[in-house]
Amino acid sequence: MKVTSPFVVLGVAASLVALTACSGGSSASGSGGKVDLSVWTGFTGGDRPGYATIVKDFNASHPDIHVTMTVQPWDTIGQKLPSAWLTGQGPDIAAPSSDPNAIAQYVKTNSVLPLTNTGSGDSKINTSKLAPGTVEEFTYNGKLYAIPANFATLSLYYNKKKFAAAGITTAPTTVAEFQEDAQKLTLDKGQKQYGLALADNQTIQMWPILQWLSGGDIVDGKNCSVLQTAAGQKSLSTWSDLVVKDKIAPVGLTGAEADSSSRPARPRWR
């Protein structure tokens, strides 16, 4: 069962416009010359081919622009991008994080430029077609600095054969059933079978979703931490006990490993 954060954002580097000559990514060879743009993304899983196709189609339909996409783990991007943009060696466009605070920090350090070509029409970023909350989250001082690269709702998908073998006849409809099924599906006979594919590094945050499912949260409406409340602690301790004591999921699983079909068949939460 796999949990993912709902969206990833694209930020436009300051080097794209203000520091073109100093950027390590973009270049234009005179009037009418082709512009080369570099993009960093963390789409290392099953979504990678889709984004590669988008880049390929864009290049084919824009003969004066060539986009090169570099794929690397999300945590690597998070570590390398701040200094790369500050020194003018970073990409022209990046999908750095789903955290609005990360984008806000890039704005504070003047590492990114606002997206000015917004509004409506084929030649503009049509913000009216985006979820309003995502537009608000990445707007600072009335200027939009990033847009979602993708936005998805959550759904449950699972291996019916594995469910049947464990004596489970239907998909879970409550958190309690979800946790019980994960325990039933965890086997240690021959090849280890985990009941849950839960990545904890090199990917977007998954634990908060488990917390929300269990009635907990990280901050309240005043942005004050609620991790120390009874609900906050229970939402974490229940799931951590299932992982540590009941071993329903491997520890140290990366996002790419959780997405890989080469690992033992198991239900996934998405």
What per-residue confidence (pLDDT) applies to 155?
65
Q: Per residue in 54-70, pLDDT tens?
A: 999 999 999 999 999 99
**Model pLDDT for residues 220-249, shown as the tens digit of each residue:** 888 899 988 998 898 889 999 999 999 999
pLDDT per residue over 94-120, tens digit each? 988 767 788 888 888 888 888 887 777
Q: Which of residues 19 and 125 earns the better pLDDT score?
A: 125
Alpha-carbon span 196 to 73, nearest angstrom: 21
29: buried, middle or exposed (CB in 10 Å: 19+, 13-18, 0-12)? Answer: exposed
pLDDT at 177: 95
Question: Residue 76: pLDDT above 80?
Answer: yes
Q: How confident is the model at residue 22 (pLDDT cuts 50, 70, 90)?
A: very low
Find the mean pLDDT for residues 67-78: 89
Mean pLDDT of 192-199: 86
Domain annotation for the chain: domains and CATH numbers: 7-151 (3.40.190.10), 156-269 (3.40.190.10)
Distance separating alpha carbons of residues 200 and 240, to the nearest angstrom? 12
* pLDDT confidence tier of residue 186, bands split at 50, 70 and 90: very high
Sorting pLDDT into bands at 50, 70 and 90, what band is 27? low
Tokens describing residue 209: 């979703």
Q: Which two tokens stand for residue 255?
A: 């996002």
pTM of the complete model: 0.59
Q: Average pLDDT for residues 72-79, to the nearest whole number?
A: 85
Mean pLDDT, range 210-223, rounded to an integer = 88
Reference 103, options 151, 128, 137, 150; nearest CA is 137
The predicted pLDDT at position 204 comes to 67
